[in-house]
Amino acid sequence: MQTRALGRTGPTVSVIGLGAMGMSDLYGPADEAEGIATIHAAIDAGVNLIDTADFYGSGHNELLIHRALQERSREDVVISVKFGSQRDPAGGWAHAGADVSPAAVKDRLAYTLRRLGTDYVDIYRPSRVNPEIPVEDTVGAIKEMIEAGYVRHIGLSEVGADTIRRAASVHPISDLQIEYSLLSRDMEDTILPTTRELGIGITAYGVLSRGLLSGHWSSGRELAAHDFRATLAPRFKGENLEANLRLVDALRDVAGDLGITVAQVAIAWVASRGDDIVPLVGARRRERLAESLGAAEVMLDADDLARIEKAIPAGAASGGRYADFLLQGMDSERWSP
């Protein structure tokens, strides 16, 4: 597995990382044993970056990773953890804003360390910023945890250029986690130039646009119970879905000529956008993981990239990547602070 550095100050990680969210939450029921087996398969294949959050399954995801890592060396993995988003006992979400206060940084980190069974987190990041809590305060509190030895690097998630600059003025930032795919490219305009100027890496999630670009989606497919895409992902609804699947069919033609799958060409495209970008794949099963990791071997030349661009031009997606009310609260979606 090839490796890339996460920014000027971050860790060296595999060219593809594993996003563990779906093993616990948001995409319907998951098989715990298969999730652990998938984590093991990823590590055995050379993947060393595992992304999670303390609110995925209300702590379940961290416990799952703990169980998986009991059979592996802790030093062989880079664990990235988000915090701040709040849940309720029914699995719902609090909409009052993320709790990323300095007190919450230390409190949530204490529980994360216990659930993961480790004495440090490689990258710790707020899941969202809260307009009522200066990002400088949040980053400053994580900086204290670095000085105390509990955290090694600071990351950000779904923030805009101004917030990135403010955060980086307090402490070096290893990477920004943000949605990035052939169907979600807005961050190319102002956010990506800012991270590159400041030497900050990108960990790209949603590289398969929550399954749309997997090559395994069909218009008649029914979503499982508790699958957030049914209510919070407009791209999976009605005419939006049909239009997006036509884009996937165009990409399928390119993939077929290259002798690879739709998912592999979509992941390889993200990886091709720069050595500072690391795609996260959310495979829940070993067979999907194996397909995704095949993208690491795909080298796209200029002609390939031109054909991909023609199949899915920037801005071609129908429907937002999240529901409007969620986008309105995301710092990365604001043109200015």
Residue closest to 311 by CA, chosen among 256, 274, 272, 240: 256
Angle at which helix 135-147 crosses helix 161-168, to 10 degrees, equals 40
Q: Among residues 27, 56, 124, 180, which one is catalytic?
A: 56
Give me the count of residues in the chain: 337
Query: 28 and 172 in contact (C-beta within 8 Å)?
Result: no
One-letter amino acid of 271: A
CA-based torsion, 276, 278, 279, 280: positive or negative:
negative
DSSP letter for each residue of 187-242? GGTTHHHHHHHHT-EEEEE-TTGGGGGGS---TTPPPPTTBTHHHH-GGGSHHHHH
Query: Would you call 56 a catalytic residue per the annotation?
Result: yes
What residues have CB less than 8 Å from 221, skipping those under 6 apart?
none
Secondary structure of residue 120 in the 3-state scheme = coil
Task: Pick left, alpha or beta for residue 281 (phi over 0 → left; psi -120 to 50 → alpha; otherwise beta).
Answer: beta
Measured between alpha carbons, how far is 204 from 277 in angstroms, rounded to an integer? 7
Residues annotated as catalytic (active site), given as ranges: 56
